[in-house]
Amino acid sequence: MSSHQNSLMRSTEPPIDMLPVEDAVERILSFCQQLSPETRAIDDAVGQVLATDITAPFDIPPHDNTAMDGYAVQSASTTGASEANPVRLRVIGELAAGYLYEQSVGPGEAVRIMTGAPMPDGADTIVPFEETDEEGLRAPGQAHAVIEDVGILKAAGPGNNIRRRGEDVRQGQQVLDAGTVLRGPEVAVLASLGVAEVQVIRRPQVAILSTGDELLTPGEAPAPGKIYDSNSYGLSALVTQYGGLPRRFGIAQDTIPALTAKINEALASCDLIITSAGVSRGDFDVVKEVLAREGAIDFWTVRMKPGKPLAFGEFAAPNGRRVPHIGLPGNPVSSLLAFELFGRLAIYQMMGRQPQPRPILRAIADDDIVNTDWRRVYARATLNQADDGRWHARLTGPQGSGVLTSMALANGYAVCPEDQERIQAGEECDVIMVDWDHPLD
């Protein structure tokens, strides 16, 4: 770590005015209600949460059917069959998946059958092609030669290669519970039940609002003293990633009337308001002021680094709805990291998902992580597994709260606890696994 961090003095007393991270999470979640259900096509509902239980209207599979391409026969017809002495059966028909065989299979008879086709009456076993001499009977390249009889090379026991009616799902069975998050497999189960639309908890409309006279919108020409608004874009991407519907309301100038007007615009349609910047102690930090005047502040400042100046509260919308407001810090790293810790869980709770923390991996810190003022430090890190199988967390360069690229390079946040002055390189630490599937270098 840099020498200037080593030389920073740590105060002897922990702060009393900052809210611990867990308390901040709890308070934010206590303001976030689960939203109402909506009807959606199943292929449009991935990531959403079922609002009702789903019960099977029929058995799956609906019929006994063959698990192999082969011949449907009576097992008794195959007694004594071997490669040396094949039993010859008369082929009385062919059956593809999707059709029913109208007649019945008798002794000495076989129906040529394809995977998924319902079992013909009379047959009680399937002899796969591999256990017949069919290949030898067919001229090369002739896929559909008419086969009049087939040699069975191996005796087949009753029930072989049959998928039983209802072996997956029974009629009347509760297949999916209300509260289930729909992923690919759940969507497939719904489709297998013939369900085209489901009731799911709707996604929150999340208003995203940047504040600051210095901000330009990407696409605008650069100008002296100005910087581009990165927060609202990063936040809107994260809202999408976590399942919400981002609604960007642009940039508010640092005045109370400008911000109040934007907030009122957002309140008309949104379930959650996210602002960035304007929550420190500076002269133009108007976000807290507007929240206090127009709504109510629940807390301000969290015991974390980065991300300490965070204002949280709620506004009353014109129709009486109460809309929570997370006033994130302006520094880009603080803003995105605080959203990851608090905003993600707020969205989950509104969508009916369990607001669970990310998994933690124990890893060896490859760099010192310094804690100067009794806050919980979240250091941006890359996780790598060494040859000995142990995980290592390497910091992604300078850790200033304005160093946005330190976030972009990270797939984990290494944590130095509030009451610990530093984690020495070589010591173990907790690492929050943020994007487990983000490529490691």
Q: List contacts with Mg ion (CB under 5 A).
A: 212, 277
Q: Please, what is the end-to-end C-alpha distance for the chain in angstroms? A: 21
Place of tokens 């999408």: 240
Per rule CB under 6 A, count of chain residues that contact ligand AMP? 20
Choose the contact partner of 412 out of ligand AMP, Mg ion, none; CB within 5 to 8 A by kind: none
Q: Please report whether residue 273 would count as binding ligand AMP according to CB under 6 A.
A: no
Report the C-alpha gap between 404 and 429 in whole angstroms: 23
User: CB of residue 254 vs ligand AMP: minimum separation in angstroms?
Assistant: 8
- Of residues 105 and 277, the one with the C-beta less far from Mg ion: 277
Q: What SS3 state is found at 143?
A: coil
Choose, by CB under 6 A, the member of 194, 282, 397, 426 that binds ligand AMP.
282
Number of neighbours of residue 93 by Cβ within 10 angstroms: 15
- Of residues 118 and 332, the one with the C-beta less far from ligand AMP: 332
Q: How far is CA 234 from the centre of its chain?
A: 18
Q: Please report whether residue 278 would count as binding ligand AMP according to CB under 6 A.
A: yes
| Long-range Cβ pairs for the range 392-397 (8 Å, 24+) | 392/363, 392/364, 392/365, 392/366, 393/363, 393/364, 393/365, 393/366, 393/429, 393/431, 394/366, 394/367, 395/366, 395/367, 395/369
Q: Which of residues 206-265 bind ligand AMP (CB under 6 A)?
A: 210, 212, 214-215, 227, 229-232
- Of residues 229 and 418, the one with the C-beta less far from ligand AMP: 229
User: CB of residue 273 vs ligand AMP: minimum separation in angstroms?
Assistant: 15
- Of residues 168 and 214, the one with the C-beta less far from ligand AMP: 214
Residue 375, token pair as written in the block: 């806050």
- Of residues 327 and 352, the one with the C-beta less far from Mg ion: 327
Choose the contact partner of 324 out of ligand AMP, Mg ion, none; CB within 5 to 8 A by kind: none
Q: Which residues contact 89 (CB under 8 A, 6 or more apart)?
A: 71, 73, 77, 78, 108, 109, 110, 149, 150, 152
Choose the contact partner of 418 out of Mg ion, ligand AMP, none; CB within 5 to 8 A by kind: none
User: CB of residue 228 vs ligand AMP: minimum separation in angstroms?
Assistant: 7
Number of neighbours of residue 241 by Cβ within 10 angstroms: 14
User: CB of residue 187 vs ligand AMP: minimum separation in angstroms?
Assistant: 36
Q: E strands of 322-426, at which residues?
A: 322-328, 360-365, 369-370, 376-385, 391-395, 412-416, 422-423
- Of residues 107 and 282, the one with the C-beta less far from ligand AMP: 282
User: CB of residue 282 vs ligand AMP: minimum separation in angstroms?
Assistant: 5
Q: E strands of 293-427, at which residues?
A: 295-300, 304-305, 311-316, 322-328, 360-365, 369-370, 376-385, 391-395, 412-416, 422-423
User: Which is nearest to 360 in space by CA: 431, 255, 434?
Assistant: 431
User: CB of residue 411 vs Mg ion: minimum separation in angstroms?
Assistant: 30
- Of residues 284 and 391, the one with the C-beta less far from Mg ion: 284
Choose, by CB under 6 A, the member of 28, 56, 274, 277 that binds ligand AMP.
277
Choose the contact partner of 332 out of Mg ion, ligand AMP, none; CB within 5 to 8 A by kind: ligand AMP
Torsion of CA 216, 330, 337, 328, to 10 degrees: -110
User: CB of residue 334 vs ligand AMP: minimum separation in angstroms?
Assistant: 8
User: CB of residue 343 vs ligand AMP: minimum separation in angstroms?
Assistant: 15
Contact characters 310-349, ligand AMP, x per CB under 6 A: -------------------xxxx-----------------
User: Amino acid identity of 107?
Assistant: P
Distances (CA, A) of 18 to 22, 70, 213, 342, 376: 12, 72, 28, 16, 11
User: CB of residue 284 vs Mg ion: minimum separation in angstroms?
Assistant: 6
Enumerate binding residues for ligand AMP (CB under 6 A): 210, 212, 214-215, 227, 229-232, 276-280, 282, 285, 329-332
